[in-house]
Amino acid sequence: MRGQIDPRSHDSRGAGMRRHCRERRPPFAMQIVMLLHVCHTGVLLIGDDACPRCKGQDRAKLFAREVQTLHDHLARSNRILWMWGDRFLNGGVSGLGQWEGSLNNTEAALHSVPKDIVISDWHYDSAAPTAALFATEGFNVISLPWRKANIALGQLDLIRTVRANANDTIGARMQGVLQTTWCDLGAFVKAYYGEDTSNQQALEAANCFKILFSAIRNSGLK
């Protein structure tokens, strides 16, 4: 298994990212800026004592270096890096734990990575007010719910509160909401239209989406 600082891992990931972007190029001629969302689940093991390359190194610095590399690779082709925000949150201090937050000291990387990264601030069981943290630190941020409509509405309320009370600079960075599904698109669409009620996860995500976006249509994000 190749670690984050193995140059070969960057070569292979870079090739995969280029292929992904080529295969999903929009079918029209206008010049646009595209984005790519990346996951960093492997950061749970960064700086592990069993790794001969990164053992004993500062985990926040290792993570920041990795993010910078992926950011710069995309920037060369005018693409924007989106990424999950959990590794930038202290899971111990916040009570978010090791999945919604970090328990291996990567959170300090937040102060070292480029500010034009878009943070996907996912929370599925509580409307943790971390989107405001990212916005205050200079990042555009999207709040991501999943299956629980009450959590999604709580996230929407937080966005509205910040936009109503913060200055325009911070308020503008609260970019809105993005529904996650964790099922294939076909299952989600069928659940949304009531064509298939057998997939409970898809049904819950579709119901969350309906309730959330009904609230947005009725009152907007402000």
| 208 Cβ neighbours under 8 A, 6+ residues apart | 145, 146, 147, 148, 149, 152, 179
Task: Tell me the two tokens of residue 158.
Answer: 């937080």
| 137 Cβ neighbours under 8 A, 6+ residues apart | 110, 111, 115
Which tops the pLDDT comparison, 165 or 4?
165
Task: Tell me the two tokens of residue 85.
Answer: 């925000």
Instruction: Give me the amino acid identity at 149.
Output: A
pLDDT of residue 54: 81
CA distances from 207 to 50, 90, 92 (A): 44, 31, 32
Among residues 125, 107, 126, which one has the least CA distance to residue 40? 107
Could you give the domains of the chain? 7-180 (3.20.20.80)
Q: In what order do the strands lie in the sheet containing 140-144?
A: 34-38, 79-84, 118-122, 140-144, 174-177
Among residues 145, 144, 141, which one has the least CA distance to residue 173? 141
Q: Which helix (H) or strand (E) holds 7?
A: helix 7-23
pLDDT in tens, 70-109: 999 999 989 999 999 999 999 999 999 999 999 999 999 9
| 76 Cβ neighbours under 8 A, 6+ residues apart | none
Structure pTM?
0.84
Q: What rounded mean pLDDT belongs to the chain?
A: 86
pLDDT of residue 55: 85
Helices (H) and strands (E) in the chain, counts: 9, 5
pLDDT in tens, 139-156: 999 999 999 999 999 999
Query: Would the pLDDT of 33 be above 50?
Result: no
Q: How far apart are CA 93 and CA 110, in angstroms?
A: 16
